[in-house]
Amino acid sequence: MKKIFNWMMIFAGVFAAQAVSAQVRPPLSIDVNYSVASPLGSLQDYSGKTSFRGWTAGLQYMLNDQFSVGLRTGFQDFNEKLPRAVYPDKLGDVSAVQTRTLQVIPIQATAGWAFTKPDKPVIPYAAVGVGVANMDYKKYWGEFVESDNSWQFMVSPELGINIPFGQASPVLFNANVRYNYSPYKMGDITNFNSLQYSVGFKFHLN
Amino acid sequence: MTPEESRIYITNHDSQANFKSYNTFSIVDSVAVLSNRNDTAKKALTDYDKQLISSVSQAMQSRGYTLVDKAAKPDLAVALTRIDNSFTNVAWNPGWWGGVWSPGYWGYPGGWYWPSYYVVYQVNEKQTAIDVFDLKNPNADNKYVSVWNALWRGSGVWNTDNVASMVQASFDQSPYLTNK
């Protein structure tokens, strides 16, 4: 009995909170961001250049003023071309111009917590995404390619801010920093680690 | 990607071979052309082939080996092969295939090594191979064992203008191939 009562209280709280947040902006939002990502660790050894080709897109639902859940996807392209070098191998020495690429497409469920109420001019938040990522690995030796495509687990904690364009505006500017981790192993990559910086917009939908 | 950047040069050697123990070499007077479409090798002597014979001979001499006639019992034999593959989705890995040669047969080495874990999107690929055989130490079957080889793959490997630089690159990455 007590359990049911507790659940009822929780639902009542959620709906009450929703009613309040609805006064500021509708609970459902979409967001689109441009992303720059720095490879870390073994990913940096494989393809060390900062990636300027990336984006993220997501869907979020505010359960109350501060807690939200959602879904998101995106794309990031790591790419580095190395000058001709000889790569010794136990089977031989290979002279090649290597182009090392990795394209990442995550699909994650998210949970977020805003540190302030939605009527504040700046809304800092923390979020975490958990899901999978498609890893498209292509290591070119000259025109010859070693390739691998697989789905991997990926977890991505994130810190960011939302800045509404006016107190009750349904449009918010978003900036965030996200750390991505995946236990992906391929060639020189022993784990996937990247730090991703994004800016974009969030639109609350009626 | 330029044609130069598209090319890869793979070299292998027999780690047991003592390259200082050889003094003389002989080289084929024409190039074997191998196509898996008809499974027969033809000999050719195009401008490309002449350039290839000349560049490889010079490179061997610059490493201290003396060019002699085949009849003069050279220590090493140099074979040159152009390979015209017509198969698709070939798996590849540079590998030491340890080719052997029957005495007196100036043909082409049999057996290329293709492990299955790399995928190549390439059709009608042209390659060129240089094989150096040890004539001093035939194996138990009385066949000559390959001690060094180079394989060129990519765009323009059959282009005469690229021969000198490809030979240079192959020898540069094989500093052990010398009797000095």
At B101 the pLDDT is: 54
Whether A99 and B7 lie within 8 Å, measured CB to CB = no
B115 band by pLDDT with thresholds 50, 70 and 90 = very low
CB atoms within 10 A of CB A196: 23
At B100 the pLDDT is: 53
**CATH code (residue A44):** 2.40.160.20
Whether A142 and B154 lie within 8 Å, measured CB to CB = yes
Contact A206, A41 (CB under 8 A): no
At A201 the pLDDT is: 98
Q: What are the sequence ranges of the domains in chain B?
A: 3-172
Q: Is pLDDT of B114 > 80?
A: no
At A127 the pLDDT is: 98
At B16 the pLDDT is: 85
Task: Determine the structural domain holding residue A191 and report its residue range.
Answer: 2-204
Whether A144 and B120 lie within 8 Å, measured CB to CB = yes
B3-172 classified as CATH 2.60.40.10? no
Q: Is pLDDT of B119 > 70?
A: no
Q: Tens digit of pLDDT per residue, chain A (206 long)?
A: 566 656 555 555 555 555 444 468 999 999 999 999 999 999 999 999 999 999 999 999 999 999 999 999 999 999 999 999 999 876 678 899 999 999 999 999 999 999 999 999 999 999 999 999 999 999 998 888 888 999 999 999 999 999 999 888 999 999 999 999 999 999 889 999 999 999 999 999 98
* Alpha-carbon span B12 to B98, nearest angstrom: 9
At B147 the pLDDT is: 87
Contact residues, chain A to chain B, C-beta under 8 Å: 84, 86, 89, 91-97, 99, 141-147
- The total number of structural domains that make up chain A: 1
* Alpha-carbon span B54 to B157, nearest angstrom: 16
A contacts of B170 (beta carbons < 8 Å): 95
Which tokens sit at B46?
A: 């195009």
CB atoms within 10 A of CB A16: 11
Q: Percent of chain B beyond pLDDT 70?
A: 73
B35 band by pLDDT with thresholds 50, 70 and 90 = low
Q: Is pLDDT of B116 > 50?
A: no
Of B19, B33, B43, B44, the closest CA to residue B132 belongs to: B19
Helix (H) or strand (E) holding B128: strand B126-134
Q: What length is written for chain B?
A: 180
* Alpha-carbon span A89 to B94, nearest angstrom: 8
Dihedral sign computed on CA atoms, order B179, B98, A99, B161: positive
Residue B158 Rama label (left phi>0; alpha psi -120 to 50; beta): alpha
Tell me how close the Cα of A93 comes to any Cα of chain B, in angstroms.
5
Contact A22, A55 (CB under 8 A): no
Q: Percent of chain B beyond pLDDT 90?
A: 37
DSSP single-letter state for residue A51: B
B138 band by pLDDT with thresholds 50, 70 and 90 = confident
In this complex, which of A95, A143, A147 lies closest to B6 when CB atoms are compared? A143
Interface test with A, best of B123, B172, B173, B177 (most A CBs within 10 A): B173
* Alpha-carbon span A60 to A202, nearest angstrom: 9
Summarised one tens digit per residue, pLDDT across range B58-112 is 999 999 999 998 888 899 989 888 877 654 434 344 333 445 555 444 333 433 3
In this complex, which of B6, B9, B122 lies closest to A95 when CB atoms are compared? B9
ipTM of the complex: 0.79
Of B101, B82, B91, the closest CA to residue B157 belongs to: B82
Instruction: State which residue of chain A sits closest to B115, comparing Cα positions.
Output: A91
At B81 the pLDDT is: 82
Which tokens sit at B35?
A: 């196509």
Contact B48, B178 (CB under 8 A): no
Whether A145 and B6 lie within 8 Å, measured CB to CB = no
Instruction: State which residue of chain A sits closest to B97, comparing Cα positions.
Output: A91
Whether A96 and B8 lie within 8 Å, measured CB to CB = yes
Summarised one tens digit per residue, pLDDT across range B141-161 is 777 788 888 889 888 999 999
